[in-house]
């Protein structure tokens, strides 16, 4: 089926940078075709995914049909787009017609969406080929992908550990080499945290940069779709394809271009270090802090300057987030009632019983927990005490970020307090799980962009992530700085041993 193309090997075409991979597909004189790339990705999924559970659904026929269309355009002398033939994994809360969309929940049993998510449709329009839907925490509520109704995903660097969440399946798929690009969603860190734990790049765009049409809503004022890739350059290529205004999402708005600025230098860069983001005293945080300090030393040696920044309200980010996000989830998830689509309880004697039993059978414990929290926060007599105060604190937090970016170009921190933890290690401690996002949720509350990039490994060979935060609309600058840091530090994607073990 693959001819000379085997699924693994040195200098394999599927391991090329995305721009180089797509350029070869677009070249009529090159033997590489989009169909061969997709076939290879599908074979890698077949070989590797049984041990990782990154995919909930493999869309082989769809991906091959899209690849054949790309090759036909090439042969006809047409340009199939900047992502020509590049295999793409899609988080299973984004709509792909003809494929199941479960959100990793039993309550969406048997559901297939009638329309495309705008972000997926735009990626396909740029030439990408969808090879599967990836695992996630149920309705994107979690930090480990252990809340999936279909079992946890595993970290390619150590399958006994989690890949992070909620976009853990997408992160594991990219890290293991099953797809060079993936789409995730980020409500409180769900792109950046798994990117850090799986040693790849993950970017949460500015709120409104990418359409949410076709993304199943968790917390509508926080959710954003974004790219996951092996490098900042690859992430930029996918973000350029999916970004832009959309009449189907009124929150989208025009923003600065994403083209690379070759004049960007580390010399003269002002980077802010947030006092409240220090990891001193955090159990297991020593190696993450040391990795961040190593990058800071690289920046200083290159001529960048450090600015001490205090953001007092970031210490309240977790409690603010866990009022705002569950409140919006309580409203958004009310639509899953057994009447319109998905799972429907049987042998009930009233409409109220249908609602109650369907939701009890269909939702997992974490989703139920957040619905209860959110419903309480919005209830009569408590909305003023909780929800309105949380929204006021959110506004003040945004103002503190605005003030910080008057003093520096980017902010810098670790992405996660520690490297990947063991499967089951925090499953019975919701608060410990929530604190995994202590360094990421503030970006969602403020609506600003943030990116996680690799910044080294622990002594156990587990990836660590560095997070860069920018002012609204500054994704282009963040990607430029991320590329310069990777060049100066030598840190980047390192293939896990599982990739070549089959």
Active site residues: 91, 166, 190
Is residue 374 within 8 Å of residue 311, measured between CB atoms?
no
Residue position matching structure tokens 């790219």: 227
CB 391 within 8 A of CB 320: no
The string of DSSP letters for 270-338 reads EEEEEGGG--TT-TT-HHHHHHHHHHHHHHHHTT-EEEEE--GGGGGHHHHHHHHHHHHHHHHGGG-SS
CA–CA separation, 375 and 327 (whole Å): 6
- H-helix or E-strand spanning residue 266: none
Cα separation values, 195 from 32, 57, 172, Å:
29, 21, 9
∠ at Cα 123 (213, 83), nearest 5°? 170
3-class DSSP string for 364-426: CHHHHHHHHHHHHHHCCCCCCCCHHHHHHHHHHHHHHHHHHCCCCCEEEEECCCCCCCECCCC
The distance in angstroms from the start CA to the end CA of the chain is 18
233 and 469 Cβ atoms separated by less than 8 Å: no
Is 18 within 8 Å of 83 (Cβ atoms)? yes
């Amino acid at each position: 089926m693959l001819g000379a193309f085997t699924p693994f090997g040195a200098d394999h075409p599927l391991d090329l940078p995305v721009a180089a991979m797509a350029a070869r597909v677009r070249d009529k004189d090159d033997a590489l075709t989009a169909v061969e790339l997709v076939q290879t990705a599908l074979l890698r999924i077949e070989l590797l995914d049984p041990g990782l559970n990154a995919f909930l659904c493999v869309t082989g026929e769809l991906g091959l049909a899209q690849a054949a269309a790309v090759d036909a355009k090439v042969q006809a002398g047409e340009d199939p787009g900047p992502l020509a033939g590049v295999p793409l994994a899609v988080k299973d809360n984004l709509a792909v017609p003809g494929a199941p969309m479960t959100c990793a929940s039993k309550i969406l049993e048997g559901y297939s969406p009638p329309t495309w998510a705008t972000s997926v449709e735009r990626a396909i329009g740029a030439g990408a080929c969808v090879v599967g839907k990836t695992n996630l925490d149920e309705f994107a509520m979690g930090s480990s992908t252990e809340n999936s109704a279909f079992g946890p995903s595993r970290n390619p660097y150590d399958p006994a550990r989690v890949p992070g969440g909620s976009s853990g399946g997408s992160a594991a798929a990219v890290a293991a080499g099953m797809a060079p690009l993936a789409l995730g969603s980020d409500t409180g860190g769900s792109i950046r945290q798994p990117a850090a734990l799986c040693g790849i790049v993950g970017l949460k765009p500015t709120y409104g940069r990418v359409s949410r049409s076709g993304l199943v809503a968790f917390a509508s004022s926080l959710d954003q779709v974004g790219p996951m890739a092996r490098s900042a350059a690859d992430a930029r290529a996918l973000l350029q394809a999916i970004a832009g205004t959309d009449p189907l999402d009124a929150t989208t708005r025009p923003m600065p271009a994403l083209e690379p600025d070759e004049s960007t230098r580390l010399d003269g860069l002002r980077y802010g270090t947030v006092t409240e983001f220090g990891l001193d005293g955090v159990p297991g945080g020593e190696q993450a802090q040391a990795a961040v300090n190593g990058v800071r030393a690289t920046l200083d040696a290159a001529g960048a300057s450090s600015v001490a920044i205090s953001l007092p309200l970031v210490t309240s980010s977790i409690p603010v987030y866990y009022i705002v996000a569950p409140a919006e989830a309580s409203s958004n998830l009310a639509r899953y009632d057994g009447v319109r689509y998905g799972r429907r309880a049987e042998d009930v004697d009233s409409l109220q019983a249908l609602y109650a039993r369907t939701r009890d059978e269909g939702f997992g414990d974490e989703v139920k927990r957040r619905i209860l929290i959110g419903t309480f926060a919005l209830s009569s007599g408590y909305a003023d005490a909780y929800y309105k105060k949380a929204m006021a604190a959110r506004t003040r937090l945004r103002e503190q970020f605005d003030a910080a970016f008057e003093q520096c170009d980017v902010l810098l921190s670790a992405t996660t307090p520690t490297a990947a933890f063991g499967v089951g290690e925090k499953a019975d401690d919701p608060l410990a799980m929530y604190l995994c996002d202590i360094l990421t949720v503030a970006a969602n509350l403020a609506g600003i962009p943030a990116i996680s990039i690799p910044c080294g490994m622990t002594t156990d060979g587990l990836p660590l992530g560095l997070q860069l935060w920018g002012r609204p609309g500054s994704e282009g600058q963040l990607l430029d700085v991320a590329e310069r840091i990777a060049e100066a530090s030598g840190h980047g994607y390192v293939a896990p041993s599982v990739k070549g073990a089959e």
